[in-house]
Amino acid sequence: MSTIPILATDPNDFVVFSDPAYVEVGVTDFLGKISFTVPTLLQGQKGCGKTEGVRQMCASRGFLRVSFSCTEETRVSDLLGSFILIGNNVHYQYGALAQAMALSEYGPTVLVLEEVNALTPQVQKTLNPLTDGERGLYIPKLQRVIKGNPDHLWVVATQNPGYAGTYSLNPDLKSRFQVIPVPYMTEAQEVAVLRRHAADAGVTEDRIITGLVRLARDTRGVRDGKSLGYALSTRDITYAVRLAAKLPLPSVILTLAHKMEDPEEFRDFAARAKSVFSEVNLTQEKTLW
Protein backbone atom coordinates (compact mmCIF):
# COMPACT_ATOMS: atom_id res chain seq x y z
CA MET A 1 0.00 0.00 0.00
CA SER A 2 2.81 2.42 0.88
CA THR A 3 4.13 2.28 -2.70
CA ILE A 4 0.91 3.61 -4.24
CA PRO A 5 1.54 7.24 -5.31
CA ILE A 6 -0.58 10.00 -3.77
CA LEU A 7 -1.81 12.77 -6.03
CA ALA A 8 -0.21 16.03 -4.97
CA THR A 9 -2.30 18.73 -3.30
CA ASP A 10 -1.40 22.11 -4.83
CA PRO A 11 -1.99 25.03 -2.42
CA ASN A 12 -2.62 27.33 -5.38
CA ASP A 13 -5.83 25.43 -6.09
CA PHE A 14 -7.23 26.53 -2.73
CA VAL A 15 -6.49 30.25 -2.84
CA VAL A 16 -9.67 32.34 -2.46
CA PHE A 17 -10.34 35.68 -4.13
CA SER A 18 -12.67 38.35 -2.77
CA ASP A 19 -15.98 39.28 -4.39
CA PRO A 20 -16.05 43.01 -5.19
CA ALA A 21 -19.85 42.99 -4.74
CA TYR A 22 -19.59 41.70 -1.17
CA VAL A 23 -20.90 43.97 1.58
CA GLU A 24 -19.43 43.41 5.04
CA VAL A 25 -22.16 43.21 7.66
CA GLY A 26 -20.04 41.98 10.58
CA VAL A 27 -19.72 38.25 9.89
CA THR A 28 -16.32 38.42 8.16
CA ASP A 29 -14.74 40.65 10.81
CA PHE A 30 -16.12 38.47 13.61
CA LEU A 31 -14.77 35.29 12.03
CA GLY A 32 -11.39 36.95 11.60
CA LYS A 33 -11.26 37.68 15.34
CA ILE A 34 -12.01 34.08 16.36
CA SER A 35 -10.10 32.35 13.55
CA PHE A 36 -7.88 29.41 14.44
CA THR A 37 -9.22 29.14 17.96
CA VAL A 38 -11.58 26.16 18.27
CA PRO A 39 -13.78 24.40 15.70
CA THR A 40 -16.74 26.62 14.86
CA LEU A 41 -20.29 25.78 13.81
CA LEU A 42 -22.18 28.58 12.05
CA GLN A 43 -25.89 28.00 12.48
CA GLY A 44 -28.58 29.91 10.64
CA GLN A 45 -31.21 29.90 7.92
CA LYS A 46 -30.38 29.31 4.27
CA GLY A 47 -28.86 32.18 2.33
CA CYS A 48 -28.09 34.41 5.30
CA GLY A 49 -24.37 34.78 4.60
CA LYS A 50 -22.66 31.93 6.46
CA THR A 51 -20.69 30.53 3.53
CA GLU A 52 -19.94 33.87 1.91
CA GLY A 53 -18.73 35.31 5.21
CA VAL A 54 -16.17 32.51 5.56
CA ARG A 55 -15.07 32.86 1.94
CA GLN A 56 -14.52 36.59 2.24
CA MET A 57 -12.67 36.15 5.53
CA CYS A 58 -10.30 33.66 3.86
CA ALA A 59 -9.80 35.99 0.89
CA SER A 60 -9.07 39.06 3.01
CA ARG A 61 -6.55 37.27 5.21
CA GLY A 62 -4.87 35.04 2.68
CA PHE A 63 -6.07 31.76 4.21
CA LEU A 64 -6.31 28.65 2.07
CA ARG A 65 -9.82 27.18 1.95
CA VAL A 66 -11.02 23.62 1.42
CA SER A 67 -14.79 23.60 0.96
CA PHE A 68 -16.93 20.47 1.00
CA SER A 69 -20.71 20.20 0.60
CA CYS A 70 -22.05 17.47 2.85
CA THR A 71 -25.01 15.30 1.84
CA GLU A 72 -26.74 12.14 3.00
CA GLU A 73 -24.78 10.35 0.29
CA THR A 74 -21.37 11.49 1.58
CA ARG A 75 -19.14 8.52 2.31
CA VAL A 76 -16.07 8.24 4.49
CA SER A 77 -13.99 7.92 1.31
CA ASP A 78 -15.23 11.36 0.18
CA LEU A 79 -13.66 12.82 3.32
CA LEU A 80 -10.53 10.69 3.65
CA GLY A 81 -9.81 9.75 0.05
CA SER A 82 -9.98 6.89 -2.42
CA PHE A 83 -8.02 4.95 -5.02
CA ILE A 84 -8.42 6.11 -8.61
CA LEU A 85 -7.13 4.75 -11.89
CA ILE A 86 -5.07 7.06 -14.13
CA GLY A 87 -4.15 5.24 -17.30
CA ASN A 88 -2.98 1.84 -16.11
CA ASN A 89 -1.75 3.10 -12.74
CA VAL A 90 -3.52 3.25 -9.38
CA HIS A 91 -3.19 6.48 -7.39
CA TYR A 92 -4.64 7.69 -4.12
CA GLN A 93 -6.59 10.95 -4.16
CA TYR A 94 -7.10 12.77 -0.87
CA GLY A 95 -10.59 13.60 0.31
CA ALA A 96 -11.53 16.94 1.88
CA LEU A 97 -10.25 16.20 5.40
CA ALA A 98 -6.96 14.80 4.12
CA GLN A 99 -6.50 17.76 1.75
CA ALA A 100 -7.01 20.22 4.59
CA MET A 101 -4.58 18.39 6.84
CA ALA A 102 -1.92 18.29 4.12
CA LEU A 103 -2.40 21.98 3.26
CA SER A 104 -1.98 23.04 6.88
CA GLU A 105 1.71 22.25 6.46
CA TYR A 106 1.92 25.08 3.90
CA GLY A 107 0.01 27.74 5.83
CA PRO A 108 -3.25 28.71 7.56
CA THR A 109 -6.03 26.56 6.10
CA VAL A 110 -9.77 26.66 6.73
CA LEU A 111 -11.80 23.49 6.19
CA VAL A 112 -15.41 24.48 5.48
CA LEU A 113 -18.00 21.72 5.88
CA GLU A 114 -21.24 22.93 4.32
CA GLU A 115 -24.47 21.57 5.83
CA VAL A 116 -22.61 19.30 8.21
CA ASN A 117 -25.89 18.05 9.66
CA ALA A 118 -26.60 16.31 6.34
CA LEU A 119 -23.91 13.74 7.24
CA THR A 120 -25.15 10.46 8.63
CA PRO A 121 -24.19 9.78 12.28
CA GLN A 122 -21.68 7.15 11.14
CA VAL A 123 -19.85 9.56 8.81
CA GLN A 124 -19.93 12.35 11.41
CA LYS A 125 -17.48 10.35 13.53
CA THR A 126 -14.84 10.79 10.81
CA LEU A 127 -14.57 14.46 11.80
CA ASN A 128 -13.42 13.80 15.37
CA PRO A 129 -9.63 13.74 14.78
CA LEU A 130 -9.61 17.15 13.06
CA THR A 131 -11.89 18.74 15.64
CA ASP A 132 -9.62 17.41 18.38
CA GLY A 133 -6.58 19.27 17.03
CA GLU A 134 -4.64 16.11 16.21
CA ARG A 135 -1.29 16.58 14.47
CA GLY A 136 -2.11 13.88 11.96
CA LEU A 137 -4.98 12.10 10.23
CA TYR A 138 -4.96 8.32 9.92
CA ILE A 139 -5.95 6.98 6.50
CA PRO A 140 -6.97 3.31 6.89
CA LYS A 141 -6.73 2.51 3.16
CA LEU A 142 -3.11 3.71 3.12
CA GLN A 143 -2.32 2.48 6.61
CA ARG A 144 -0.49 5.71 7.26
CA VAL A 145 -0.89 9.07 9.01
CA ILE A 146 -0.97 12.35 7.10
CA LYS A 147 0.96 14.93 9.09
CA GLY A 148 -0.31 18.46 9.49
CA ASN A 149 -0.04 21.56 11.63
CA PRO A 150 -3.06 21.86 13.94
CA ASP A 151 -2.17 25.50 14.66
CA HIS A 152 -2.75 26.19 10.96
CA LEU A 153 -5.97 24.23 10.54
CA TRP A 154 -9.40 25.61 11.45
CA VAL A 155 -12.57 23.57 10.99
CA VAL A 156 -15.67 25.65 10.25
CA ALA A 157 -19.00 23.92 9.69
CA THR A 158 -22.38 25.34 8.71
CA GLN A 159 -25.86 24.02 9.23
CA ASN A 160 -29.45 25.01 8.57
CA PRO A 161 -31.35 23.49 11.48
CA GLY A 162 -34.63 21.66 11.07
CA TYR A 163 -34.64 20.83 7.36
CA ALA A 164 -35.75 17.51 5.90
CA GLY A 165 -32.88 15.17 5.11
CA THR A 166 -30.75 16.39 7.98
CA TYR A 167 -29.57 14.73 11.19
CA SER A 168 -28.87 16.04 14.64
CA LEU A 169 -25.16 16.28 15.32
CA ASN A 170 -24.20 13.58 17.75
CA PRO A 171 -23.42 15.08 21.19
CA ASP A 172 -19.84 13.84 21.01
CA LEU A 173 -19.19 15.86 17.84
CA LYS A 174 -21.26 18.88 18.82
CA SER A 175 -19.30 19.24 22.06
CA ARG A 176 -16.18 19.84 19.95
CA PHE A 177 -17.66 22.96 18.30
CA GLN A 178 -18.43 26.45 19.48
CA VAL A 179 -21.84 27.30 18.03
CA ILE A 180 -22.25 30.76 16.49
CA PRO A 181 -25.77 31.83 15.46
CA VAL A 182 -25.94 33.75 12.18
CA PRO A 183 -29.24 35.67 11.90
CA TYR A 184 -30.73 37.33 8.86
CA MET A 185 -29.26 40.74 8.11
CA THR A 186 -31.03 43.87 9.23
CA GLU A 187 -33.24 45.63 6.69
CA ALA A 188 -30.64 48.36 6.17
CA GLN A 189 -27.91 45.76 5.59
CA GLU A 190 -29.99 43.84 3.06
CA VAL A 191 -30.76 47.06 1.17
CA ALA A 192 -27.02 47.86 1.09
CA VAL A 193 -26.25 44.37 -0.26
CA LEU A 194 -28.89 44.60 -2.97
CA ARG A 195 -27.81 48.09 -3.99
CA ARG A 196 -24.28 46.83 -4.54
CA HIS A 197 -25.49 43.90 -6.67
CA ALA A 198 -28.01 46.08 -8.50
CA ALA A 199 -25.31 48.56 -9.45
CA ASP A 200 -23.13 45.71 -10.66
CA ALA A 201 -26.00 44.34 -12.78
CA GLY A 202 -27.15 47.73 -14.09
CA VAL A 203 -30.45 47.92 -12.19
CA THR A 204 -31.15 51.56 -11.37
CA GLU A 205 -34.69 51.55 -9.90
CA ASP A 206 -34.29 51.78 -6.15
CA ARG A 207 -37.94 50.80 -5.60
CA ILE A 208 -37.09 47.32 -6.93
CA ILE A 209 -34.31 47.01 -4.36
CA THR A 210 -36.29 48.23 -1.38
CA GLY A 211 -39.37 46.32 -2.52
CA LEU A 212 -37.53 43.00 -2.77
CA VAL A 213 -36.17 43.50 0.73
CA ARG A 214 -39.66 44.32 2.06
CA LEU A 215 -41.09 41.24 0.33
CA ALA A 216 -38.38 38.95 1.68
CA ARG A 217 -38.83 40.18 5.22
CA ASP A 218 -42.60 39.76 4.88
CA THR A 219 -42.17 36.09 3.90
CA ARG A 220 -40.19 35.46 7.09
CA GLY A 221 -43.06 36.59 9.31
CA VAL A 222 -46.69 35.73 10.02
CA ARG A 223 -49.58 37.44 8.23
CA ASP A 224 -53.21 36.84 9.17
CA GLY A 225 -52.09 33.96 11.34
CA LYS A 226 -50.27 32.25 8.46
CA SER A 227 -46.60 31.70 7.76
CA LEU A 228 -45.06 30.50 4.51
CA GLY A 229 -43.22 27.19 4.25
CA TYR A 230 -40.47 28.93 2.29
CA ALA A 231 -39.01 32.24 3.46
CA LEU A 232 -37.01 34.27 0.95
CA SER A 233 -33.36 34.59 1.92
CA THR A 234 -30.88 37.34 1.18
CA ARG A 235 -29.44 35.05 -1.49
CA ASP A 236 -32.87 34.68 -3.13
CA ILE A 237 -33.39 38.41 -3.51
CA THR A 238 -29.78 39.02 -4.53
CA TYR A 239 -30.32 36.65 -7.46
CA ALA A 240 -33.67 38.33 -8.14
CA VAL A 241 -32.23 41.84 -8.36
CA ARG A 242 -29.63 40.62 -10.85
CA LEU A 243 -32.37 38.94 -12.87
CA ALA A 244 -34.25 42.27 -12.91
CA ALA A 245 -31.61 43.55 -15.32
CA LYS A 246 -32.80 40.97 -17.87
CA LEU A 247 -36.51 40.41 -17.20
CA PRO A 248 -39.59 42.54 -16.45
CA LEU A 249 -40.32 42.85 -12.73
CA PRO A 250 -43.48 40.62 -12.83
CA SER A 251 -41.40 37.80 -14.32
CA VAL A 252 -38.74 38.22 -11.64
CA ILE A 253 -41.33 38.03 -8.87
CA LEU A 254 -42.88 34.98 -10.54
CA THR A 255 -39.57 33.12 -10.26
CA LEU A 256 -39.69 33.79 -6.51
CA ALA A 257 -43.35 32.79 -6.26
CA HIS A 258 -42.64 29.36 -7.71
CA LYS A 259 -40.45 28.60 -4.72
CA MET A 260 -43.80 28.11 -2.96
CA GLU A 261 -44.73 24.49 -3.62
CA ASP A 262 -48.22 24.56 -2.13
CA PRO A 263 -50.96 26.31 -4.21
CA GLU A 264 -52.35 28.05 -1.13
CA GLU A 265 -48.90 29.34 -0.22
CA PHE A 266 -48.45 30.53 -3.81
CA ARG A 267 -51.64 32.58 -3.48
CA ASP A 268 -50.51 33.89 -0.09
CA PHE A 269 -47.16 34.92 -1.59
CA ALA A 270 -48.93 36.54 -4.55
CA ALA A 271 -50.97 38.70 -2.16
CA ARG A 272 -47.82 39.72 -0.28
CA ALA A 273 -46.07 40.56 -3.55
CA LYS A 274 -49.08 42.61 -4.71
CA SER A 275 -48.95 44.69 -1.54
CA VAL A 276 -45.34 45.61 -2.32
CA PHE A 277 -45.46 45.88 -6.12
CA SER A 278 -48.94 46.99 -7.19
CA GLU A 279 -48.34 46.13 -10.86
CA VAL A 280 -47.56 42.48 -10.13
CA ASN A 281 -50.49 40.07 -10.54
CA LEU A 282 -49.37 36.49 -10.14
CA THR A 283 -51.10 33.24 -11.10
CA GLN A 284 -49.57 29.79 -11.25
CA GLU A 285 -50.58 29.50 -14.89
CA LYS A 286 -48.46 32.47 -15.98
CA THR A 287 -45.23 31.75 -17.82
CA LEU A 288 -42.01 33.74 -18.01
CA TRP A 289 -42.12 34.10 -21.80
The domain boundary, picked from 149, 165, 181, lies at: 181
Q: Write the DSSP assignment of 16-45 as a string of letters.
A: ----TT----SHHHHHHHHTTSS-EEEE--
Asked whether the predicted pLDDT for residue 284 surpasses 80, the reply is no
**Which of the pair, 279 or 287, is modelled with greater confidence?**
279
Residue 285 in any domain: the answer is: no
pLDDT score at 1: 43
pLDDT score at 227: 83
Q: Mind listing the pLDDT tens digit for each residue in 80-124? A: 999 999 999 999 999 999 999 999 999 999 999 999 999 999 999
Q: Mind listing the pLDDT tens digit for each residue in 273-283? A: 999 999 999 88
| 233 and 95 part of one domain | no
What residue numbers bound the domain in which 271 lies? 187-276
Asked whether the predicted pLDDT for residue 187 surpasses 60, the reply is yes
| 171 and 246 part of one domain | no
Ramachandran sector of residue 165 (left: φ over 0; alpha: ψ -120 to 50; beta: rest): left
pLDDT band at 204, cuts 50/70/90? very high
**Which of the pair, 19 or 289, is modelled with greater confidence?**
19
Give the number of other Cβ atoms within 10 Å of residue 186's Cβ. 12
Lowest mean pLDDT among 61-70, 106-115, 198-207, 223-232: 223-232
pLDDT band at 223, cuts 50/70/90? confident
Task: Please tell me whether residue 7 adopts helix, strand or coil conformation.
Answer: coil
> Do 22 and 210 contact (CB within 8 A), yes or no?
no
| 76 and 119 part of one domain | yes
Q: What is the CATH number of the domain that holds 72?
A: 3.40.50.300
How far apart are the C-alpha atoms of 152 and 154, rounded to whole Å? 7
User: Percentage of the chain with pLDDT > 90?
Assistant: 81
**Backbone φ and ψ of 171, nearest 5°:** -55, -35
| 174 and 103 part of one domain | yes
Q: How many domains does the chain have?
A: 2
| 57 and 138 part of one domain | yes
Asked whether the predicted pLDDT for residue 129 surpasses 60, the reply is yes
